[in-house]
């Protein structure tokens, strides 16, 4: 397996992580001794067939699941040792999430959708409104701030979802099939946007995708097969 080099102090590190669902005859080993380092500022694409472990790995990194065995370190902190509330705080303050299905509240304007993570933080109206407008401007959709999701195209909805994910200024953006529900032209626009966030704001991006041409925007490609990392390579066009 060809692997990439990494710094001695990675942002994210998995050490021999195994995840088993079920017991005895019904046990499924979703991750099988996965070790992985991701440095701050990287843009990593994750691919693999259904059931390969890629989504489980993303859930682990996103603090939505815990390893059965092995360690997950975030900035050197052992995440598995944290309580449920501590993991929720880590998610809220350091991680942003973008999903294939947008997950926007349908009767709520774009700017109110973007404000949600700041509401959960208890931030005052003016500060969160200002930050949300800046996030919408950053993704090129500020002029649609008052529109509800039904008044927006699929690409515009995904931009709102990305604005919601970056409004908290996360260290890491976890994107699960972010171009899965949009057309080819819009897919490339979304990928250009993610690339600019990675380049200009230094946000570390982990993206699950099944589309090879989308993975080429990343500077690193990890392929999962049967709960293991099969290949970990740097894209030719990456700096």
* In contact, 110 and 147? CB cutoff 8 Å: yes
Other CB atoms within a 10 A radius of the CB of residue 123 amount to: 17
End-to-end CA distance of the chain: 21
Question: Is 19 among the domain residues?
Answer: yes
What CATH number should be reported for the domain holding residue 44?
Answer: 3.40.50.300
Per-residue pLDDT of the chain (239 residues; tens, 9 = 90+): 444 556 678 999 999 999 999 988 899 999 999 999 999 999 999 999 999 999 999 999 999 999 999 999 999 999 988 999 999 999 989 999 998 888 999 999 999 999 999 998 899 999 999 999 999 999 999 999 999 999 999 999 999 999 999 999 999 999 999 998 889 999 999 999 999 999 999 999 999 999 999 999 999 999 999 999 999 999 875 44
Other CB atoms within a 10 A radius of the CB of residue 76 amount to: 9
- By DSSP bridging, strand 228-234 and strand 220-225 are antiparallel
* In contact, 163 and 129? CB cutoff 8 Å: no
Task: Name the β-bridge partners of 17.
Answer: 34
Question: Is 7 among the domain residues?
Answer: no
Helix (H) or strand (E) holding 57: helix 54-61
Domain extent at residue 22: 12-234
Question: Is 226 among the domain residues?
Answer: yes
Question: Is 6 among the domain residues?
Answer: no
Question: Is 3 among the domain residues?
Answer: no
- By DSSP bridging, strand 43-47 and strand 95-99 are unpaired
Question: Is 239 among the domain residues?
Answer: no
pTM: 0.91
Question: Is 83 among the domain residues?
Answer: yes
Domain tally, the chain? 1
* In contact, 57 and 31? CB cutoff 8 Å: yes
185's tokens: 């032209």
Q: For residues 18 and 13, what is the distance between their CA atoms, to the nearest angstrom?
A: 13
Question: Is 2 among the domain residues?
Answer: no
């Amino acid at each position: 397996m060809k692997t990439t080099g990494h710094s001695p102090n990675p942002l994210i590190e998995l050490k021999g992580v195994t995840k088993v669902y079920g017991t005895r005859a019904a046990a499924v080993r979703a991750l099988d001794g996965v070790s992985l380092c991701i440095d701050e500022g990287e843009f990593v694409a994750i691919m693999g067939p259904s059931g390969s472990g890629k989504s489980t790995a993303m859930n682990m990194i996103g603090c939505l699941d815990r390893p059965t065995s092995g360690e997950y370190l975030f900035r050197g902190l052992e995440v598995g040792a944290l309580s449920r509330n501590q993991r929720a705080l880590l998610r809220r303050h350091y991680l942003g999430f973008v999903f294939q299905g947008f997950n926007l509240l349908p009767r709520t304007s774009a700017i109110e959708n973007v404000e949600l993570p700041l509401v959960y933080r208890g931030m005052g109206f003016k500060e969160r409104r200002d930050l949300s407008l800046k996030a919408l401007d950053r993704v090129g959709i500020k002029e649609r701030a008052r529109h509800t999701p039904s008044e927006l195209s699929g690409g515009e909805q995904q931009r709102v979802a990305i604005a919601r994910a970056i409004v908290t200024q996360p260290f890491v953006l976890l994107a699960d099939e972010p171009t899965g529900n949009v057309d080819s032209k819009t897919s490339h626009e979304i990928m250009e946007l993610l690339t600019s966030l990675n380049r200009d704001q230094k946000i570390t991006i982990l993206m699950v995708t099944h589309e090879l041409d989308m993975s080429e925007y990343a500077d690193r490609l990890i392929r999962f097969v049967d709960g293991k990392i099969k290949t970990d390579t740097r894209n030719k066009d990456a700096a």
